[in-house]
Structure 1
Amino acid sequence: MIVTFASSKGGVGKSTTCAAIASALALEGERVLLIDLDQNRTLDRWARKAPIEGLTVQAIEPQKFGSYFREQEASGAFDHICIDLPGNREVTLFKALARSDLVVIPAQASEPDLREALVVVSDIRDVAETAQRAIPYRLLLTKVFPLRSRVTDYAYDELERRGLPLFRTALVERSAYREMFLNGQPPTVTEPGKGAGQEVLTLLAEMRSIVEASQAEMRKAG
């Protein structure tokens, strides 16, 4: 899978989700490349604290993304590539979207976050039209309160009203997501089979299902 994690707004859990999914894949024995394009280099620093076998994290400058991606994809060294995009709209965004099997758009259940998520959705649709192929994407609600609130209900109602696809899985506000950047340990290690660890695995299973269905549809159409 080639999975891009995109948001034009900071603080939505984009890098956290990318790291959690990439590490979960590696811990299952897959060979994973995580490309850190975020200007803060958060994932590059995180990976140095507790390296995971099978997970390669590489921070690169956005202008070098195209050539680096082509080289790594052609090498056959990786089963999956996860891309953590910069927290702003620039040309690298469109290059990554065009190469993606799935785009994950993290957003909190708030009006500003959903508005920014719609910007990313518009970009995906433009790239898909230009590339003349479907680019699967889903919004991922993050930092959700354990109990439903009026704010959460607003988010679900707004997404339904706009007909935007949403992951069934949501990431609840949990300390394991914050602590992973302190100790380097991903949620599937610190909370195996429960809490954040189970959420990540459930999300990963849903992502795989979406990609497999999309690829099957493409083969059928081809």
Structure 2
Amino acid sequence: MIVALLNQKGGVGKTTRATHIAGELALRGQRVMLLDADPQGSALDWTQRRSQQRLPRLFGAVGLACETLHQEVPDLARRCDHLVIDGPPRIAALARSALLAAERVLIPVQPSPYDLWASAEMVALVREAQVFRPALQAAVVINRRVVRTVIGREAHKALADQPLPALRPEVCQRIVFADSVAAGRVAREVAPGSAAAREIGVLVDELLRGQP
């Protein structure tokens, strides 16, 4: 599976989701590669933090923030079971290259009107890519949902008019995620029985069920 996490809006939690998806797959015994396509390099920073903590490597990671990354991905994908791409915000050319490389695209969206409106640009890029690659699968995933709020409860309803489907699993705003990023770990390592760890597990289950 080659899955890309993309959104033209920054601050939606792409990198946290990308590292957690890659980590969950790795903890299930899969060979995983994380491709950091964001010039900011936050995913690589996470792997460096893990190394500084003298933790064993969960998965391979490479930085490739260039407009030709789709030409490099096939060779990288042959070396692993799953390749996870952490895409950049606000750089359409890099996003297009990631779309050419991916089999599945997840668009993390926070449940707020502003984020839903901002996702329209990414949806347009996906639709453009699907003209050339009809097999490309894409879906919105609700991310950083604040529990016990009206807007959180109605997030799926708000997405009903979007042209792309929304995955049923949601990931909430939880302290465990912030703690895990600071420690260079994933939620299942920091708090194995936590709601955060369960949410990532359910999300990965959903991804694997829809694997091409």
With structure 1 as the length reference, what TM-score do the two structures score? 0.86
Give the deviation of 1:115 after TM superposition. 1.4
1:54 Cα offset (Å): 4.9
Q: Distance in 1 between matches of 2:169 and 2:68?
A: 33
Q: Gaps (5+ residues) in structure 1?
A: 216-222
Does structure 2 conserve the Cα–Cα contact (< 8 Å) formed by 1:36 and 1:43?
Answer: yes
What are the superposed Cα offsets for residues 50-81 of structure 1, whole Å, 9 maximum, x if unpaired? 255450011123245234323323xx211111
The match for 1:8 is 8
Q: Which has the higher helix share?
A: 1
TM superposition outliers: structure 1 runs of 4+ over 6 Å: none
Residues 153-162 or 98-107, more deviating: 153-162
User: Which residue number corresponds to residue 72 of structure 2?
Assistant: 68
Q: Secondary structure at the match of 1:38?
A: coil
User: How many angstroms apart in 2 are the aligned matches of 1:99 and 1:152?
Assistant: 32
Give the aligned partner of residue 136 of structure 2.
135
Name 2:158's counterpart in structure 1: 158
The alignment yields a C-alpha RMSD, in angstroms, of 1.7
Identical positions, percent: 25
- Which position in structure 1 is the counterpart of 2:63? 59
Matches of 1:155 and 1:122, distance apart in 2: 21
Q: Show the counterpart of 2:171.
A: 171
- Per the alignment, residue 101 of structure 2 pairs with 99
Secondary structure at 2:80 match in 1: coil
Whether the aligned pair in 2 keeps the contact of 1:141 and 1:171 (CA below 8 Å) is yes
* Cα distance in 1 for residues equivalent to 2:13 and 2:162: 23
* Cα shift at 1:180: 1.9
* Structure 1 residue 171: Cα displacement: 0.8
Shift of 1:162: 3.2
Q: Determine whether 1:80 maps to 2:47.
A: no
Aligned residue type for 1:108: Q
User: How many aligned residue pairs are there?
Assistant: 208
Give yes or no for contact 1:4–1:102 (8 Å, CA) kept in 2.
yes
Residues 30 and 54 of structure 1 are in contact (CA less than 8 Å); yes or no, is this contact kept in structure 2?
no
Instruction: Check whether the contact 1:29–1:54 (CA below 8 A) recurs between aligned residues.
Output: no
Structure 2 vs 1, CA of residues 68 and 174 (structure 1 numbering), >3 Å: closer, same or farther?
same
Superposition TM-score, scaled by structure 2 size: 0.90
Uncovered stretches (5+) of structure 2, i.e. residues with no partner: none
8 A contact 1:50–1:185 mirrored in 2? yes
